[in-house]
Structure 1
Amino acid sequence: MIKTESNAVLLKPASIKKHDRGGGASTTPLVTKGLGASVFITGYTEFAGGAKIPFHYHNCEESVMLVEGHALFDIDGQEFEVAPQDMTFIPAGVPHRFRNASDTEPMKILWIYGSPDANRTLVETGETRPIAAEHAT
């Protein structure tokens, strides 16, 4: 990480600790409240072949871009194929999930939450956790 005089930051993801999400998915936080973000946070999640995350929703808007691989996006009872550079907008409170469409190739998404205090609620259990807490060291 390189911080400039004006508090701008250049992040080097290769040097940022990844956090295991289970099931073959890991997340790397990028722009966070800890860096001074006051309106949004960002990061990316990598999926091993065949990996998926459970249905969940957030307390704020989310946008996701597929950076690498081939994904399936489940929302509103529908499944959508997602190609690299496709982008989603997901309103707050809407259950969704992403799945790696390949059993062998990795997949990577870049996510942006519309609040530095974003949280994730798992549909199956109702458990809610702050996104920032998932990345605490």
Structure 2
Amino acid sequence: MNAQQPTRQPRTRFERLGGRAALVAIVKTFYDRIEADPELRPVFPPDLRPGRDKQAAFLEQWMGGEPRYTQIYGEPALRRRHRPFTITVRGAERWLAHLEASFEAHGTENALTREIMDALRPLALRMVNTTEVRTRPDA
């Protein structure tokens, strides 16, 4: 009766969320919210679809799923990729609020939502690159 049981690694955030289908639905809701936000919408390109796909791939990888973002787009290099956009603290906080609301809209457990948001907040705030109010790179 001393048979060793295989050690199960703790479930990743991605698994606890419900996998790719759940994440894609959450990201769709998030981008719907961005589309309707008069402050954040100008920061994003006219066509939101590529960003939505990249966001889903990034979050999947970041939450412990397959490394799809790196396989498709290369290393995340988030600060470099966000450098062309004017990102203020207010903008980062609005971005976070929309993402949190999107998790909640899909019934993500409160503890998991809090865990994800607590981990994402410092990452999002590292993207801040100005104190200016201007939202478009060409404005």
Q: TM-score, normalised by structure 2?
A: 0.27
Which structure features the higher share of strand residues? 1
Q: Which has the larger radius of gyration?
A: 2
Q: Which has the higher contact order (CA 8 A, sep 6+)?
A: 2
Which structure features the higher share of helix residues? 2
Q: TM-score, normalised by structure 1?
A: 0.27
